[in-house]
Amino acid sequence: MDVASELFPNGGWDVHHHIFDPARFAYSPTRHLTPPPATIDQFIAFKKKIGITKSVLTHGLSYGSDCSSLRDFVADLGETNSKAIGVIDPDTVTSEELRDMHQAGIRGIRVNLYQYRAMHDIELQKAALRAHASAIKDDYPGWSMAFTHTHPEFWVELKPFIQEEIVPTGIQLVTDHFALLKGSSMTSVEDITQQPGFQEIIELMRSGHLYVKISAPYRVSTQAPKYEDLKPLVRALFDANPQRVLWGSDWPHTPLMKVRTPEEALSETPFLNVDDLAWLRSLRSWLSDEEWNTLMVANPTALYDW
């Protein structure tokens, strides 16, 4: 049995991957990371290896808020097989630019917290989310808005803010990489459900106000390649709301998130070596057939394929 038949008999989506091709499109001079090339051809080979059929190309923050590369990459991948998540400057983006992005297959934005110097500041995070939501809510309220940060404890304050200011806009809020909740191998909390932010995230999922991507397990667990300690976390997310869980590879596996010095940011940083098939097979074993199809087909189709 080939991988596609084994894991994806009904097809499957990877909702979080990147393309980096600095020979075609130069990186932003104010980038937070300089990745090596990870080209269209390399992604297609990866896609074939693991058996996925569709994907959501996530704009690499190394390109800043210029989505020229994203539009070309989506066209190369083919709009029937790929949608995209862009990055905008909420202070300058126009309705015409948003329309062009939508026509190019873009179905949401990601918030660049690095640009706001907000990685470690909850108030600046709120400001960034507020500004981005305001920029798209009138033109494309059905778009998603994704963000990643390194402080799960911030969710205690983020939850009421999201309920009061983001939910009324109609924008679908997504957080990446398990919301940076940790498996037992990366936290000293004996019960992973008691770690800071866990209850707030679960409550937002239950109410339908938050999608969580099961992506980049190496950011929240040291138990590669199967990441067995993440099973309780995965089960908790599904038990909260199976319609609010997504899967993404995070290919080509950029390094762990941190605020880098300007010198570090401009030096090429290698990708991580990840056994994606071992992780997928492990994840598959924790879910029923119905849950797997919901994760890999139904949820991403509903959120991105419109």
pLDDT tens digits, one per residue of 103-139: 999 999 999 887 888 889 999 999 999 999 999 999 9
Q: What pLDDT is attached to residue 27?
A: 96
Q: Is the pLDDT of residue 100 over 80?
A: yes
pLDDT (tens digit, 9 = 90+) per residue, 182-216? Answer: 999 999 888 999 999 999 999 999 999 999 999 99
Average pLDDT of the segment spanning 162-174? 96
Q: What pLDDT is attached to residue 114?
A: 79
Bigger pLDDT: 2 or 132?
A: 132
Q: Is 279 helix (H, G, I), strand (E, B) or coil?
A: helix
Among 1-5, 168-172, 245-249, name the one with the lowest average pLDDT: 1-5
Question: What are residue 246's DSSP bridge partners?
Answer: 213
- Number of Cβ within a 10 Å radius of residue 188: 7
Q: What pLDDT is attached to residue 306?
A: 81
Q: What pLDDT is attached to residue 1?
A: 65
Q: Is the pLDDT of residue 168 over 90?
A: yes
- Helix axis angle for 231-240 and 198-206, nearest 10°, is 40
For residue 119, which amino acid is it?
M
Q: Name which of 76, 71, 147 is nearest 109 in CA terms.
A: 147
CB 90 within 8 A of CB 135: yes
pLDDT (tens digit, 9 = 90+) per residue, 264-286? Answer: 889 999 999 999 999 999 999 99
Average of per-residue pLDDT values in the chain: 94
Average pLDDT of the segment spanning 152-160? 95
Q: Is 91 helix (H, G, I), strand (E, B) or coil?
A: coil
Q: What pLDDT is attached to residue 179?
A: 95
Q: Is the pLDDT of residue 263 over 90?
A: no
pLDDT (tens digit, 9 = 90+) per residue, 27-47? Answer: 999 898 999 999 999 999 999
- Helix axis angle for 40-50 and 68-77, nearest 10°, is 50
Q: At a CB cut-off of 8 Å and minimum separation 6, what does 144 contact?
A: 85, 107, 108, 109, 171, 172, 173, 174, 211, 303, 304
DSSP string over 134-186? HHHTTT-TTSEEEE--S-GGGHHHHHHHIIIIIGGGT-EEEE-GGGG---GGG
Q: What pTM, to 2 d.p., does this model score?
A: 0.95
Q: At a CB cut-off of 8 Å and minimum separation 6, what does 273 contact?
A: 253
pLDDT (tens digit, 9 = 90+) per residue, 66-82? Answer: 999 999 999 999 878 89
Q: Name which of 96, 89, 66 is nearest 135 in CA terms.
A: 89
Q: Name which of 259, 282, 257 is nearest 272 in CA terms.
A: 257
